[in-house]
Amino acid sequence: MAQRNPGDTGSAGEPPGLAALPGSWDELVARPLVQFESVSKRFGNFVAVERLSLDIREREFFALLGPSGCGKTTLLRMLAGFEQPSEGRILLDGVDISDVPPHRRPVNMMFQSYALFPHLTVEGNVAFGLRQDGMPKPEIAARVREMLALVKLDGFGARRPHQLSGGQRQRVALARALAKRPRVLLLDEPMSALDRKLREDTRFELMELQDKLGLTFVIVTHDQEEAMTVADRIGVMNAGRLAQVATPSDIYEHPNSRWVADFIGDVNLFEGRVVSSGLGHTVIESEAGGRLLVTHPTDASAGTAVTVAVRPEKVRIDTSASRVSDENCFAGRVVEVGYLGGVSIYKVALDNGLRMKATVANRTRPVERPAGAGDRVWLSFPPEAGVVLLR
Amino acid sequence: MRSRSGIGGMSRFNVTSVALGLAFLYLPIAILVIYSFNASRLVTVWGGWSTRWYVALLHDQAMLEAAWTSLRIAALSATAASVLGTLAAVALVRAGRFRGRTMFSGMVYAPLVMPEVITGLSLLLLFVALDAARGFWTVTIAHTTVTLSFVTVVVQSRLLSFDRSLEEAAMDLGCPPLKTFLTVTLPLIFPAVAAGWMLAFTLSFDDLVIATFSTGPGATTLPMRIYSEVRLGVKPEINAICTIMIAMVAVGVVAASLLAKRGELAKARAA
């Protein structure tokens, strides 16, 4: 996973046009590029986005992640100008753009369907936005060449969209959206139409492009792997609200709610009550039976109902009880083993009635399985692995 | 046609019913076409092959004038109907749910099923009420009114399958809404608009009822001319002019369907 440091965004290289804006330099650096200020969007009785506030920083690769219908695309379309917020303001560079029509916003979008103009050539598509600005012809030609080179489509300029493969069309759409050097590039599920292999390559190319161009990218996706790979920060959305905004590793390792923990990746959830909590450790009595010890700090007092989340790859699987301590240990029987190539998933029915998952990396060839279906096993995890969730 | 293996793939019953159906449709037309090449002056007596009635037509000044009037009316009303019909289609598809949308779309379709006599009579009453001098322009306006609905139907079906994100993409790239319509939407729905124009043209060209109601002295369309001549007895020239009309209408209809098909293909390729 290529993880970049989101802390260095905004400091390197002064974005053009900032000198003309009022305010001190520190203020400008601190000010986010895009600000949603308690934005709501209703379609009739349906609330797509509800009092959502979000800051997106300059030169950031920001991902909006969520299940379908959570409002992430509506949020993106409001930023592009295709939808008007019912309430609240959207600011770009500190200026309210809520009432600016889409054709006057310095924001470009790459559409899920690519929306390439079928009656224009690849060149015509990429040049479309530049022509609207009245850019001189030689400059347009130069910029189009530059853009096609950037997306590795040199020599395809004279083709029509229907003469291109899906991957090539996606690149044309990208080149077209980037040609005007937008303040923000919006990507609406940009890779949903590509096959898996191409999708993985494209992710890294997108990240490279964003680094090279120093632009701000906002991507909407329902593919969490995609969001985790490309984004500096992820906004996880649920039912029109932001559930959590954090770096990919924080979202995964420190989810702030039961919903986020469950939505992102695979997870084992234990309902229970806090027995005692002290500095650096919390003891939880599981509802189903068994004690849990986690180092994750919590300010929940004794007796509070909490959920402990443990990722399956942090669970250890043993075939004997001898090496296992009292806490964080559950005996059970393997129900099934799912082989995924790189890892195998063990689904275990615990003696206390719960189900638990553990993933084991397949390091050897042929695969050595510690246990098969029906075998008795002991699952355990270290105190650092668990996260205590209050909601 | 479902079976591509031709007659071999069809049962005897199917072959018979298709043959009967086609005969029912085309036998009268075929007889008319054949008799237009009849050398005999008597319409019902075959006197050998000849193109003399086509030559005679060229000297029939009244007939030629009527044909020229019909052509101009058809071209003008088809153009006007294409513009208005396209705008109506855009309004119907794009305006979303406005108050009275259902009624508006119903009103656009009503002329399709309205008896021509009623349409013609109401237009006549309107022109009389407005005290409009009846003639060339009143027929043109009347034909525009009637054919507009057909254009709307054709264009609307194309617009319904039109990917709106194309328009959004154009606007996103800095193109104002009207320019977007002219540079992105219109070129892409043009086959449908052209098909609508062809349809409107042929409908106007062979209309008798509405033209009769809405015309005045000095503007006689070709169907009116033919009808008035036939009342005095069918002359072989009539067969000739009718054959030419059939050819024109057939070309128009085939061209319209080809254009519509091309639009479908372009859409399929774009998808």
Q: Are residues A252 and A311 in the same domain?
A: no
Pick the last residue of a domain from A204, A225, A258. A258
Pairing state between β A305-310 and A291-294: unpaired
pLDDT at A131 over 60: yes
pLDDT in tens, A193-226: 888 888 888 999 999 999 889 899 999 999 999 9
Residues B165, A117: C-beta atoms closer than 8 Å: no
Domain residue limits at A282: 266-389
Q: Please check whether residue B123 is in contact with residue B145, taking contact to mean a CB–CB distance below 8 angstroms.
A: yes
Q: Are residues A248 and A298 in the same domain?
A: no
Q: Are residues A220 and A276 in the same domain?
A: no
B174 CB neighbours in chain A (<8 A) are: 103-104, 129, 132-133, 180
The torsion angle over the Cα atoms of residues A215, A218, A222 and A226, rounded to 10 degrees, is 20
The torsion angle over the Cα atoms of residues A74, A77, A83 and A85, rounded to 10 degrees, is 60
pLDDT of the residue at A13: 41
Q: Are residues A19 and A94 in the same domain?
A: yes
CA torsion sign for A41, A72, A173, A9 is positive
Q: How far apart are CA A240 and CA A264, in angstroms?
A: 17
Nearest Cβ partner of B174 from A113, A118, A133? A133
Residue B200, amino acid? A
Q: Are residues A354 and A294 in the same domain?
A: yes
A103 CB neighbours in chain B (<8 A) are: 171-177, 180
Mean pLDDT on A134-138:
92
Q: How far apart are CA B52 and CA A80, in angstroms?
A: 70
Residues A103, B166: C-beta atoms closer than 8 Å: no
Could you tell me if residue A26 is inside a domain?
yes
Could you tell me if residue A142 is inside a domain?
no
Q: What is the DSSP letter of A368?
A: P
Q: Are residues A341 and A385 in the same domain?
A: yes
Residues B168, A128: C-beta atoms closer than 8 Å: no
- Block residue for tokens 């509802």: A287
Residues B176, A103: C-beta atoms closer than 8 Å: yes
Instruction: Collect all residues with Cβ–Cβ distance below 8 Å to A92 and sequence separation of at least 6.
Output: A33, A34, A105, A106, A107, A183, A184
pLDDT of the residue at B5: 46
Could you tell me if residue A54 is inside a domain?
yes
In chain B, where the domains are located = 6-36, 60-270
pLDDT of the residue at A249: 93
Could you tell me if residue A114 is inside a domain?
no
pLDDT of the residue at A153: 92
Residues B170, A128: C-beta atoms closer than 8 Å: yes
pLDDT tens for chain B, 271 residues long, are 444 444 556 788 889 999 999 999 999 899 889 888 888 888 778 888 888 888 888 888 888 899 999 999 999 999 999 999 999 998 888 876 777 778 877 888 888 888 989 999 999 999 999 998 888 999 999 999 999 999 999 999 889 888 889 999 999 999 999 999 999 999 999 989 999 999 999 899 989 999 999 988 878 999 999 899 888 887 888 888 889 888 988 888 888 788 777 766 665 655 5
B185 CB neighbours in chain A (<8 A) are: none
Residues A102, B172: C-beta atoms closer than 8 Å: yes
pLDDT confidence tier of residue A24, bands split at 50, 70 and 90: low
Q: Please check whether residue A240 is in contact with residue A87, taking contact to mean a CB–CB distance below 8 angstroms.
A: no
Pick the last residue of a domain from A258, A281, A309. A258
Which residue in chain B is spatially nearest to A125 when comparing CA positions? Answer: B170
- Block residue for tokens 């959207």: A90
Partnered with residue A346 across adjacent β-strands are: A337, A358
ipTM entry: 0.80
Residues B173, A80: C-beta atoms closer than 8 Å: no
Assigned CATH topology for domain B60-270: MetI-like fold (1.10.3720)
Q: A-B interface: how many C-beta pairs under 8 angstroms? A: 68
Which residue in chain A is spatially nearest to B177 when comparing CA positions? Answer: A103
Q: Are residues A191 and A303 in the same domain?
A: no
B187 CB neighbours in chain A (<8 A) are: 119
pLDDT in tens, A72-124: 999 999 999 999 999 999 999 989 998 899 999 999 999 999 999 999 999 99
Could you tell me if residue A140 is inside a domain?
no
Interface test with A, best of B173, B175, B179, B265 (most A CBs within 10 A): B173
Q: Are residues A218 and A322 in the same domain?
A: no
pLDDT confidence tier of residue A15, bands split at 50, 70 and 90: very low
Q: Are residues A242 and A285 in the same domain?
A: no
Residues A103, B163: C-beta atoms closer than 8 Å: no
pLDDT of the residue at A5: 45
Strand order in the sheet with A184-188: A107-110, A184-188, A216-221, A61-65, A233-238, A241-246
- The CATH number that applies at residue A368 is 2.40.50.100
Q: Are residues A327 and A186 in the same domain?
A: no
Interface test with B, best of A119, A131, A133, A174 (most B CBs within 10 A): A119
Q: Are residues A93 and A210 in the same domain?
A: yes
A104 CB neighbours in chain B (<8 A) are: 174
Pick the last residue of a domain from A258, A283, A314. A258
Show which residues on chain A lie within 8 Å of chain B, measured between beta carbons. 80-82, 101-105, 107-109, 111-113, 115-119, 128-129, 132-133, 161-162, 176-177, 180
Nearest Cβ partner of A119 from B175, B180, B188? B188
Instruction: Collect all residues with Cβ–Cβ distance below 8 Å to A195 and sequence separation of at least 6.
Output: none
Nearest Cβ partner of A161 from B172, B173, B270? B270
Nearest CA to A217 out of A236, A229, A231, A203 is that of: A231
Which residue in chain B is spatially nearest to A179 when comparing CA positions? Answer: B173
pLDDT at A36 over 90: yes
pLDDT in tens, A274-329: 988 877 788 998 888 888 889 887 777 888 899 999 999 999 998 887 655 678 88
